[in-house]
Amino acid sequence: MYEEYIKGRNSYNYPAIGLFTNEILNDIGNWENVYKQHKFNTSLDLDIHHTSHLLSKNENDVLLGIYSVMYWGYITSGAKSITRCNWLSNGNARNKQLSLKYMGKSKAVDIIRKSESFLNNSRYSDALTEIRKLPHVGVSFGTKFLAFIDPENVGILDEKIIRHLASDSFNDILEKETIRDLNKPKNPSIRFQAFCEALNIIKTNLNKNGCQWSDLSGAKMNRFRAIDVERAFFAIAKQIDNKK
């Protein structure tokens, strides 16, 4: 069973691309001229970039972290990365007030910090409810932000993983009771709480058995974090989808 997690994590290859700058974003609407696309050397370098900025005491760093995660999350969807960052800044045609321009930078930073506080107390459900107060952040994308805030204890619960949990895709690496427990909650926040708790149990068992990983970007660690367990799930699910 442990070998499947190692193989899955080793095959993870989502682009390590985010946003970077040495400038301060004074005008929210000008994000595209201040923040520039940056390809990080490895998935771990991207993790460090996002986590360090989201947890920074400097509001401008946190703001870059917010935009970089949003950009990264849509990087495989072409121009959607730019579109979603524009929505984040100025809203869309349907709702201009759902934007950082209307909300204000300080309020967005407060949401990140309150989410971090919930995560520090293993209140994953409450953290998801809080992070969704950011403009244009739904359930799936909210878990992306949380995973970068606390990669040690949190993983991304997106539609791909939810869909595969409902099938038999993970039967070889998860106990039937775990799959049942993860499929039971209908409330997305409660499901996310159960998901993170399961990731941490698996992480602990992998580390007790000395499991290590080295992915296609060249990143490697001699231990698993919760986000690494989730990335193993993601890679396995992607491989199954590619065979169809």
Query: Residue 74 has which token pair?
Result: 């849509």
Residues 21 and 7 in one domain: no
Does the residue 24 lie in any domain?
yes
pLDDT tens for each residue of 47-58: 999 999 999 999
pLDDT at 244: 67
The pLDDT assigned to 169 comes to: 85
Q: Are residues 42 and 90 in the same domain?
A: yes
Given 81, 108, 123, the domain boundary residue is 123
User: Quick one: 21 and 105 in the same domain?
Assistant: yes
CA 122 to chain centre: 16
Please check whether residue 79 lies inside any domain of the structure. Answer: yes
Q: Are residues 107 and 169 in the same domain?
A: no
Q: Which amino acid is at 120?
A: N
Tell me the pLDDT tens digit for each residue of 74-129: 999 999 999 999 999 999 999 999 999 999 999 999 999 999 999 999 999 999 99
The yes-or-no verdict on residue 46 having pLDDT over 90 is yes
Residue range 2-31: mean pLDDT, rounded: 95
Reported as a pLDDT band with limits 50, 70 and 90, residue 16 is very high
Task: Read off the pTM.
Answer: 0.96
Tell me: do 79 and 171 sit in the same domain.
Answer: no
Q: Is 55 exposed, middle or buried (0-12, 13-18, 19+ CB in 10 A)?
A: middle
Range of the domain at 40: 17-123
- Angle at which helices 43-54 and 139-149 cross, to 10°: 90
Do 118 and 25 belong to one domain?
yes
For residues 6 and 42, membership in a common domain is answered with no
- 118 shares a domain with 21: yes
Q: Are the C-beta atoms of 188 and 127 separated by less than 8 Å?
A: no
Task: Give residue 25's pLDDT band: very low, low, confident or very high (50, 70, 90).
Answer: very high
The answer on pLDDT for 1 being more than 80 is no
Per-residue pLDDT at 19 exceeds 80: yes
* Percentage of residues in the chain having pLDDT higher than 90: 87
Task: State the total domains in the chain.
Answer: 2
**Residue 29 belongs to a domain:** yes
Whole-number Cα distances in Å, 132 to 85, 98, 236: 16, 12, 27
Q: Is residue 207 part of a domain?
A: yes
